[in-house]
Amino acid sequence: MAGVTPPVAGRRSSLTWLVPLFVAVLVVGLWWAANRNGSGATDGDQGARATATARPSPTAYPSVLGTPDSGLDTVAESRLPREARATLELVRAGGPYPYDQDDKTFQNREGILPEQRRGYYREYTVLTPGSDDRGARRIISGSAGDRYWTDDHYDSFRQIKEGQ
C-alpha cells in the first residue's frame, strides 16, 4: 500500500469541534442580523418579548434640552389643535392614554421621520371631534424628546417646537 497515507487522529478530533462551532456562529449571526435595526413587528406583535424589554419613558429626555433637528418642517406647540396639546400633556405625564394602541412602537414604515433603531418612536392618538374611530391625527414621540405631528395618518409630519 505504497502512496496511501493513514488518517491522522488529530485531524479528525479538530474537525469534530469545528463543525458545531461553525453552526453556533452561524446561528448567532443570523439571530443578530434579524434583530438589529430592522422594521420588525409592533409591540402588540412581539408578545411576551415586549414585556421583558425595558424602555425609557417618553419624558426621560425632555425635548427642551436639545431636541434633535429632523430637517422636517416645524409647527409651534401653540399652533396645534387643542386636542393635540392635550395629548402632549398626557405624553409628558406618562399617561393614562385613551386608547390601548397609544404608547406603542411606531415603526416609521413610511420613512419620513429620521431613521432610528426599532422602538425609538412611540405613537399617541390625538382625539378627533366627530370621528367614530381613532381618526388620522397622531403625535409621535422619539426617546430623545423629539416629537412630531401628523394630521393625515402618517402621510406627512411636522416636528413640534414645544413651548412655542
- Is 153 considered catalytic here? yes
Beta-carbon contacts of residue 98 (< 8 Å; ≥ 6 apart): 125, 127
Say which residue the cell 505504497 belongs to.
Answer: 2
Q: Which domain holds residue 146?
A: 43-161
Report yes or no on 111 lying in a domain: yes
pLDDT at 21 over 50: yes
Spatial separation of the C-alpha atoms in residues 82 and 22, rounded to whole Å: 59
- Is 123 considered catalytic here? yes
Q: Which of 77, 83, 89, 153 is catalytic?
A: 153
User: CB–CB of 87/126 below 8 Å?
Assistant: yes
Beta-carbon contacts of residue 145 (< 8 Å; ≥ 6 apart): 61, 62, 63, 64, 65, 66, 67, 68
Spatial separation of the C-alpha atoms in residues 66 and 152, rounded to whole Å: 27
Could you read off the pLDDT of 83-130 as tens digits, one per residue? 999 999 999 999 999 999 999 999 999 999 999 999 999 999 999 999
CATH number at 71 reads 3.10.450.30
Mean pLDDT for 146-160 is 96
Q: How many domains does the chain have?
A: 1
Report yes or no on 14 lying in a domain: no
